[in-house]
Amino acid sequence: MTLFTCGPVQMYKSTMNVRNNGYIHFRTDEYGDIVKTTLARLSELIGNHRKFGTIYLASSGTAVMEATIENCISDLDKCLVINGGGFGRRFCELLKYHQKNYTSVDIKWNEKLTEEHLKPYEDKGYTALFVNIHETTSGQLYDKKMLSDFCKRNGMYFIVDAMSSFMADEYDMDKYGIDVTLITSQKGLCCSPGMAVVSLSERMIEKIYSEKNRVTSKYFDYKDYLDNIDRGQTPYTPPVFMIYEVRDVLNLIEEKGGLDAWLNDIKHKGEFFRKRAEAIDLKLPDYPVSNMLTPVIFDDISAYDVIQVLKNEYSIYVNPCGGELASKLVRISHIGDTTTTDIEDLMEKLVLSINQVRKQIR
């Protein structure tokens, strides 16, 4: 079985073996040191150079999307959401559920986000921008600098779900003035699912403490996590093994030569796949895409049927889409422990799967 999925990904063998090595009790100074060290290293990769501005939570990505709304957005805020797919839509759904004031900037799945989409919202009193910087549904990678400049001009907080872009594309909180970064364990970090990381800017931490927003879930009150992290602890049981897994991946990044070398490897795999795809006349989108994945567009056959053949006949897993894109897009990931040799095998099996589906509809 080979995973070319967005998360969970094909994990590295050393990371999978972490669970065979045992662990120390988490309410100890020794374990606290592991937490503090890994968070400090992660913060550097994220580009947040504030000490103790990053926290671990035992949760899914959606949980910290919701928790961020509760902790970081008050009833006085006026939010703007880049809504170009399922995950932009999820921010809208969560803001609506919590009765926050928001406007959705709707982007069609095959439409590139540009300055023109933002112009109607200049100088309109918006205080926060929410974006999934890589809208995993369509594969579009949004322009961080364009959105950052927009937020700076309008004095807005910049809140970024980087779950499927972090550790695949260049990312830097300080450089782009990002106030909240949300990531999860099972995507660019190449670990097991079940843990999320939230990284907060200085001014967002000040906002969290000064406004004293009412967080309806005590478990997800960021103040509790921030108050505990300087001793390497979480207020509740942490995802113990996952933090060991993160440490292993951080070590792998160093062994590979650092962050740039890691990102270049993923970029190389993405470019390798796209060249092979174009050589066999597969249709790729015109909008900017992440190094993390490549969407392949199908007009004449069902993308979902192709995915099923890959899985059932060849034990190769790629990402389907939901809704209107279920029959249009196959999303193929380039992160995780895969090589160009694996991609060559994928391409061979992908061609066979496409031909099989075409035969079935004749």
At 22 the pLDDT is: 85
Could you give the CA distance from residue 245 to residue 253 in angstroms, rounded to a whole number?
Answer: 13
Question: What 3-state class would DSSP assign to 274?
Answer: helix
Predicted confidence (pLDDT) at residue 214 exceeds the cutoff of 80: no
What's the CATH superfamily of 258-360? Answer: Aspartate Aminotransferase, domain 1 (3.90.1150.10)
Token pair listed for 246: 């993160």
Q: Per-residue pLDDT tens for 80-120?
A: 999 999 999 999 999 999 999 999 999 998 999 999 999 99
Rama region for 39: left / alpha / beta (φ>0; ψ in -120 to 50; rest): alpha
Same fold, 18-254 and 258-360: no
Where helices occur in 202-258 by DSSP H, the ranges are 202-211, 222-229, 240-256
The per-residue pLDDT of the chain, averaged, comes to 95
Ranges of each domain in the chain: 18-254, 258-360
- Calculate what percentage of the chain has a pLDDT beyond 70: 99
Averaged pLDDT, 220-231:
94
At 238 the pLDDT is: 92
Averaged pLDDT, 212-224:
87
CATH number among 3.90.550.10, 3.40.50.1100, 3.40.640.10, 3.40.50.300, domain 18-254: 3.40.640.10
